[in-house]
Amino acid sequence: MKKLIFILFIILFQLSIYAQAKETITQNRVDQVGVKVKEDFKQQPYSEWFNPTYKDYKLDKRTIKKLKKYSKDFKIKVFMSVWCHDSKREVPHLYKILEAINFDTKNLEVIALNRAKKTPENLQEGYNIIRTPTFIFYKNDQEIGRYVEIPRKNLEKDILKIVSGKAYKHSYDKS
């Protein structure tokens, strides 16, 4: 009888640990979607990819100089995913570029999506997000262009084309 009670105790204890682990995993997945700021990415679990990618990115200084004159003229809405290798590459690069041009981060909104490219609050609704990352640029609250997933030339040059009003098609724009 004591052995049976002991075995039941062990089983209940194991189930309790499993339930706590499952809740933690679920919460971590929920925490990985929604609105994010740079400080979020500098901490675990994101810091493993964000910090080295941010630090190692070599800015295109000639283009940065040109971009600076537009730094107050636009806003950006970023849709990314923390599981996406392109987002893990491009989002740290974007932050480094924006810092170099003294961009006001009040004009930046970063939204992390789940694998279905959604958030529980449907923050992606109405933006036609097909690939991540997608950076949507606005001037006077009107969309002026999108950067999608990979650069045409490099991120700085692509952003410069968009914010300066030059013709730009992202890598998947077939029109």
For the chain, give the mean pLDDT: 89
Structure tokens at 138: 């606005």
Q: Nearest to residue 68, comparing CAs of 44, 91, 33, 98?
A: 98
Query: Helix %, strand %, coil % for the chain, to 5?
Result: 45, 15, 40
pTM of the model: 0.82
Q: Which of the four pLDDT bands, split at 50, 70 and 90, describes residue 162?
A: very high
pLDDT recorded at residue 85: 96
pLDDT 10s digits, 52-96: 999 999 999 999 999 999 999 999 999 999 999 999 999 999 999
Measured CA to CA, the distance from residue 86 to residue 71 in angstroms comes to 24
CB atoms near residue 136 (< 10 Å): 20
Q: Are strands 75-80 and 108-112 parallel, antiparallel or unpaired?
A: parallel
CATH number of 33-163: 3.40.30.10
Per-residue pLDDT tens for 126-149? Answer: 999 999 999 999 999 999 999 999
The vertex-53 CA angle with 48 and 57, nearest 5°, equals: 165
Tokens of 45: 């679990």
Does residue 34 come out as left (phi exceeding 0), alpha (psi in the -120 to 50 range) or beta?
left
Contacts of 147 (CB under 8 A, 6+ apart): 90, 133, 134, 135, 137, 155, 158, 159, 162, 170
pLDDT of residue 11: 74
Peptide bond between residue 92 and the one before it cis (omega within 30 degrees of 0): no
pLDDT at 19 over 90: no
